Copies of this chain bind each other. A is one copy, B any other.
Amino acid sequence: MRSLTRVSTTRTFKRLPREIREQQVLDAAVRVFSHHGFHTASMDEIAEVAGVSKPMVYAYLGTKEELFIACLRREATRLMEAIADVVDPTLGLSDQLWSGLRAFFAFVGAHRDGWAVLYRQARGQEPFAAELAAMRRRIVDVIADMLDRAVRAEGRQIHGIDLEVSAYALVGAGESLADWLADHPDADPDKTAGRLMNVAWLGAAQLLRGDVWAPGGSEPPVTSRDAA
């Protein structure tokens, strides 16, 4: 049974070391996953986009699920490193936050596909959601710690869970704006970071000072304003 294998193709196949191939496959996988979603994406398409045959994908990266996890880890690591490279722990809280946010939005602006995989895909699909949640938890803890140190530096204190929830809100706002950024290619990452600082940090600064919003009266909750 003669199978019609391409006989006279001039196309020549570069032989590349495994590491490079793996990165190419991961690149393709991130793109395909981000466009189609985990389940809808097909391994055949990923292989094709990577310019590699399907058995290679399986040989190097394993099953579809393992491949997706590899994508997750790579993108998350890149993101974390991009931020860690830039944040200077000797600086003040607001400066740390500012530089971190700038790096964060810059990364998302430059890796929209990766962000889509991390944020939109992994969050819902249960095997991965847990892993993703653990990563976010680490970030939240870092932020909460920063807040805590800043508060203590002012000689005051905030209850742990309040800190955690505040940090969670900040992280959530950041993720949400990142999502917005991913959908607005013309938007400027730096400006987005600045806007988030405006909304979030001004509020956080109040918190650090000990100002608290109270639901009681119907008056504007403003803090140091001439009281009504």
Q: Which residue of B lies closest to A117 (CB)?
A: B124
Asked if A69 lies at the interface with its beta carbon under 8 angstroms from chain B, I say: no
Q: Chain B contacts of A199 at CB under 8 A?
A: 166, 169-170, 200, 203-204, 207
Query: B165–A169 contact, CB under 8 A?
Result: no
Q: Are A165 and B190 in contact (CB under 8 A)?
A: no
**Is residue A18 within 8 Å, beta carbon to beta carbon, of the partner chain?**
no
Pair B195/A162 contact, Cβ less than 8 Å? yes
Per the 8 Å Cβ criterion, residues 199-217 of A in contact with B are 199-207, 209, 211-213, 215-216
Which residues does chain B contribute within 8 Å of A205, judged by CB atoms? Answer: 220-223
Complexed CA–CA distance, A226 and B197 (Å): 19
Partner of A172, one of B92, B175, B183, B216: B175
Closest residue of chain B to A200 (Cβ to Cβ) is B203
Task: Tell me whether A173 is interfacial, beta carbon within 8 Å.
Answer: yes
| A58 close to B (CB within 8 Å) | no
Contact indicator per residue, chain A 171-194, by CB within 8 Å of chain B (1) or not (0)? 111111101100100000011111
Which chain B positions have C-beta within 8 A of A171? 176
A124 touches B126 (CB 8 A): no
Give chain B residues whose Cβ lies under 8 Å from the Cβ of A179.
Answer: 172
Chain B, residue nearest A194 (CB): B221
In the complex, which residues of chain B have a beta carbon less than 8 angstroms from the beta carbon of A138? Answer: none
A76 CB-CB contact with B under 8 Å: no
State the Cβ distance, A198 to closest chain B Cβ, in Å.
5
CA distance A119 to B169 in the complex (A): 16
- 18 A-B interface contacts by CB (under 8 A): A35-B126, A92-B216, A92-B219, A162-B195, A166-B195, A169-B199, A171-B176, A172-B173, A172-B175, A172-B176, A173-B173, A173-B176, A197-B213, A197-B221, A198-B213, A198-B223, A205-B221, A206-B206
